[in-house]
Chain A
Amino acid sequence: MRLAAFTQIIVTLAVTAWVFILPTEAVATILVLELTLLLYIKHDQMTLAAIGGLAVFTGLMVLLQLLFGTPLIQSLIGGLRMLVMTMAFLCLLAACRIQDIAKALVEKFRLPCEYAFMLTTALRFVPNFLLDSEITLDAQSCRGYSNRQNFIKRFLAYLVVIRPLVMRAVAKSETLALSMELKGFGNNTYKNMPPEKLNILDYLVLLLVLAGCSFPFWEKYFLGA
């Protein structure tokens, strides 16, 4: 049984709330869970690089807070919160196809279909864009462009690559827009997809989310704080 995209999005959103309302120990536990989950689903170089990047970024944030005079403990907790939040989104992206996320956003969260479609289309054109930049670089190299000078010169010289690249991208996006029109893109696109059904596992998880979110309430009345 798989969790529906809807449930996964809810859990991700819930985690961003939990980092503020749950005790620090619980937040730290979530981080461990997230890391385990992430490495279980995907352990390629990209994922490791993303985790490393997030860690470095978090470290910088902690340093910045210290510089502004925040006490050490609080800076660390702040860093932890941010890391857990961003890691949750990383987990979502690793566990769920972007198409399913887009569909759930339209179906359950009433996101306008144009925005949802942007998510998938952006991803679709990443390989194209990389290929284009390679082709343009090659083409300009054939005509004497070289990137073996100092940094400033290299940057200026790189403009000759960027300009045609941007022009190509604009031309392509125009064709894309036209093509979507030709294919009759509109509200129908998502409306006609088979709706995503929630199963028992989803309901269980949603219940857990509810329990987690009401933590301040039962902390007050049952744990007698």
Chain B
Amino acid sequence: MTAQIAIEKFYFAYKATPPGQVVLRDINLKVDKGSFTCLIGPSGAGKTTLCRAITGIVPFYMGGRYAGDVKVLGKSTKGQRVSDIAMHVGFIMEDYESQLVSLTAGEEVAFSLLNHGFKPEEVEKRVSWALEAVGLPGRETYRLDELSGGQRQRLLLASTLAVEPELIVLDEPVSAMDPDGAQSLYSLLASIHRRLGTTILAVEHRMDFLLPYVTDLIALKEGELLVADSFDAAAPVVYQDAELRPLLPTLWQMKLGLEERLGLRLGNWRSEEEAVEDLKRRGVRAKEGTGHVGS
């Protein structure tokens, strides 16, 4: 598989970072084409900074000190403008509020499409498709202040999806959504990922939403890479770190805990159903008339 993102010996410090300190230290990683990668780490670990590095915003747009190289879609971000990279890479930043630039929902989605040079008829088609896909069908003429926070996050995703970038980087894209909304948004992202083979990199604090879809895991801690590997291989490493452990999906915290305490090897569960099946196969039975574990 070819690497969509390749980072080598990357160090970075913002202009405001005190001398002698760095925000990212010796980052080496690859993200494969067509993968669905989750990026985790405690607050302040440098997740947002890493996303910015991938989209060329640091160091070239915001400035700062750096060493090493970041290659995205086979080209170094060095010497490219943010807007050039953005033609192929969609980036949804943390502050979703200030990223919406138009007056109505339809115009917001059309804005990216027009910038990418789509023809008017195509723009119209894609706008209604994208709004429908994120669960805002027929809201073209809604003013932005007539949408809720969660709906605005969806709108932002719609405007990114509409241009069908090869790679989408999302920095906490569901922070303003309720669990149901977050779940449906990730399942939409997963279906795009399956259908178009889009590579996806998402920063997410609540990994439970991602468990069914995630293929790879990157964990950052205090600016350093703890692990970057397939999810199944990386999760046990993350589990060994007491600070990062709670960031794993609840099901996997349970699985890895059971494996550690009981010396078992359980399956690589991706859903509750799989976990139940696996446990049943191992002879775990519900007591008569309780729960639905055995049913």
Residues of A within 8 A of B (CB): 97-99, 117, 120-121, 123-124, 127-128, 171-173, 175-176, 178-186, 188-190, 192-194
Evaluate contact between B95 and A182: CB separation under 8 angstroms: no
Please, which residues of chain A bring their CB within 8 A of the CB of B83? 181-182, 184-186
In the complex, the answer to whether B97 meets A186 with C-beta atoms within 8 Å is: no
A182 touching B86 by the CB < 8 A rule?
A: yes
* CB-defined contacts of A184 to chain B, threshold 8 Å: 83, 86-87, 112, 115-116
A192-B114 contact in complex given A176-B98, A178-B93, A183-B159, C-beta closer than 8 Å: yes
User: Chain A: interface secondary structure?
Assistant: helix
Report whether B86 and A98 are in contact in the complex, using a CB–CB cutoff of 8 Å.
no
Per CB-CB distance, the 5 closest pairs between chain A and chain B, nearest first, are: A184-B115, A175-B98, A194-B120, A179-B99, A127-B145
Q: How many residues of B contact A (CB 8 A)?
A: 33
What are some 30 contacts across the A-B interface (CB < 8 A)? A97-B103, A99-B102, A99-B107, A117-B101, A124-B100, A124-B102, A127-B145, A128-B97, A172-B95, A172-B97, A173-B98, A176-B98, A176-B99, A178-B61, A178-B82, A179-B93, A179-B98, A179-B99, A181-B61, A181-B81, A181-B82, A182-B91, A182-B93, A183-B112, A183-B115, A184-B116, A186-B83, A188-B116, A192-B120, A193-B114
The chain B residue with its CB closest to the CB of A117 is B101
B144 at the interface (CB under 8 A from A): yes
Contacts of A98 in B (CB 8 A): 103
**In the complex, B283 has a CB within 8 A of chain A:** no
Docked Cα-Cα span, A220 to B104, in Å, equals: 50
CB of B124, distance to nearest CB on chain A (Å): 9
Compute how far the CA of A175 lies from the CA of B48 in the bound complex, rounded to whole angstroms.
13
* Complex CA–CA separation, A123 to B100 (angstroms): 12
Residue of B nearest to A169 (CB): B98
Alpha-carbon distance between A207 and B67 when the two chains are bound, in angstroms: 65
Q: Give the distance in Å from the alpha carbon of A185 to the alpha carbon of B112 in the complex.
A: 8
> How far apart are the CA atoms of A96 and B53 in the complex, in Å?
42
Q: Known interface pairs A178-B57, A181-B86. Does A192 touch B103 (Cβ–Cβ under 8 Å)?
A: no
- Tell me the smallest distance from the CB of B63 to a CB of chain A, in Å: 13
Given contacts A98-B103, A183-B86, contact A175 B95 (CB under 8 A): yes
> Which of these, B87, B101, B104, B115, contacts A176 with CB under 8 Å?
B101
Bound CA–CA A163/B98 (angstroms): 19
Contact yes or no, B55 A192, CB < 8 A: no
Nearest to B107 among chain A residues (CB) is: A99
Q: Which residues on the B side are within 8 Å of A120 (C-beta)?
A: 102-103
The residue of chain A having its C-beta at the shortest distance from the C-beta of B82 within the complex is A181
B57: nearest residue on chain A (CB-CB)? A178
Interface residues of B in 77-93 (CB under 8 A from A): 81-83, 86-87, 91, 93
Q: Cα distance A173–B93 when bound, in Å? A: 14
The 8 Å CB contact of B55, one of A99, A182, A183, is A182
Minimum CB distance partner of A185 in chain B? B115
